[in-house]
Amino acid sequence: MEQTAKQIGIWVFSGTGNTEKCAKALQDALTEQGVSANLHTIADGSETAPERDLVICYPVYGFNMPRILKAFCRHQLGGGNVWFLKTSGEPLHLNDNSSAQMIRILKKKGYAIKGEFHYIMPYNMVFRHTDELASLMWRTAQERIPDAANRIAEGTETPIAAPLSAKLVSALCRIEHWFYPKNGRLFRIDEKKCVHCLSCVKRCPTKNITYSDGRFRFGKACIGCARCSFNCPTGAIRIGLIDFMRVNGPYDFSRDPASARIGRYCRKAYERYFEEED
Ligand SMILES: Cc1cc2nc3c(=O)[nH]c(=O)nc-3n(C[C@H](O)[C@H](O)[C@H](O)COP(=O)(O)O)c2cc1C
């Protein structure tokens, strides 16, 4: 067994809260294990962690990580251990290569890549899961996160392996990193629905939405996190070419998970995920 991690920095980027929920649960579980873990937000990727050992938490976007995570990795000092915690809407192996670009950067900086923990959480893009299924996902993550904390506390290494299909698909989908800033320029506000609460302006992690003279303007820094449209109280934001995949409004995670029904989409993969042993 390797050296036990004593001071961990949990660094989180979360568009709409799923990853943040899991990261917070990990912090609590690590604290129970006697490991001191600081929870930090990755706001724009320019942060440098004071801790040597890091857990980098992110949602999967297009079978990859959000663009600002690459910037975050470039700003790190190097030399410690790194784990990843990621959330995604579907339990497909095509998501298995999403950390690859970060791993490359971090290895060059001398980090030891120790493992990855992947939790399925409800889609904030593509389509809406039911609240019951969202509650089952969250309960499942809560049940499994203590095992991750245990592995981190003990320094247990879990190899990260991705099938060739995941490597190919994630490489192709990296075009999304180019696409989101362009697509962000196409966002529009439905003036009939907008109540001018400016929630979108306040929440945007890249300050890409501005408001002046009664008009909204969208810049070139969109990273596709969906925080603006997901949290819009009236569903007034149209998100360009991917508007048909927009999901609006938070999930109610307090429903009875026992009444969750898995739909036809990727049914087998979801069933396998929920049946997995810890
Ligand atoms: C732009 C975008 C792309 C996404 N791509 C994927 C994907 O490739 N695979 C997947 O399973 N989920 C995908 N999702 C769903 C999110 O990964 C999932 O809902 C995640 O839990 C959101 O976390 P957050 O609330 O912390 O932002 C995508 C979401 C967005 C906004």
* Digit-coded pLDDT (tens) for 90-111: 999 999 999 999 999 999 999 9
**Residues of each domain in the chain carrying CATH 3.40.50.360:** 7-170
Residue 278 has a pLDDT of 57
CA distances from 33 to 104, 145, 153, 190, 250 (A): 30, 12, 7, 49, 31
Tell whether ligand 1 has an atom less than 6 A from the beta carbon of residue 226. Answer: yes
**Residues of each domain in the chain carrying CATH 3.30.70.20:** 178-245
Which CATH code for domain 178-245? 3.30.70.20
CA dist 182 and 176 (Å) reads 10
* Digit-coded pLDDT (tens) for 231-278: 999 999 999 999 999 999 999 999 999 999 999 999 999 999 999 865
Residue 205 has a pLDDT of 95
Tell whether ligand 1 has an atom less than 6 A from the beta carbon of residue 14. Answer: yes
- Specify the length of the chain in residues: 278
Residue 226 CA: which ligand 1 atom is closest? 31
* Digit-coded pLDDT (tens) for 41-63: 999 999 999 999 999 999 999 99
CA dist 136 and 121 (Å) reads 9
Task: Say what the pTM is.
Answer: 0.96
* Digit-coded pLDDT (tens) for 185-218: 999 999 999 999 999 999 999 999 999 999 999 9
* Digit-coded pLDDT (tens) for 110-161: 999 999 999 999 999 999 999 999 999 999 999 999 999 999 999 999 889 9
Per-residue pLDDT at 21 exceeds 90: yes
Residue 1 has a pLDDT of 43
In angstroms, what is the span from residue 138 Cα to ligand 1's centroid? 15
Decide if domain 7-170 falls under CATH 3.40.50.360.
yes
Tokens of 1: 């067994």
Taking phi over 0 as left and psi of -120 to 50 as alpha, with beta for the rest, 274 belongs to alpha
Span 14-28, average pLDDT: 98
Tell whether ligand 1 has an atom less than 6 A from the beta carbon of residue 15. Answer: yes
The DSSP output letter for 64 is: B
- Ligand 1 pocket: which of 16, 18, 39, 60 to mutate (most atoms <8 Å of CB)? 60
Taking phi over 0 as left and psi of -120 to 50 as alpha, with beta for the rest, 110 belongs to left
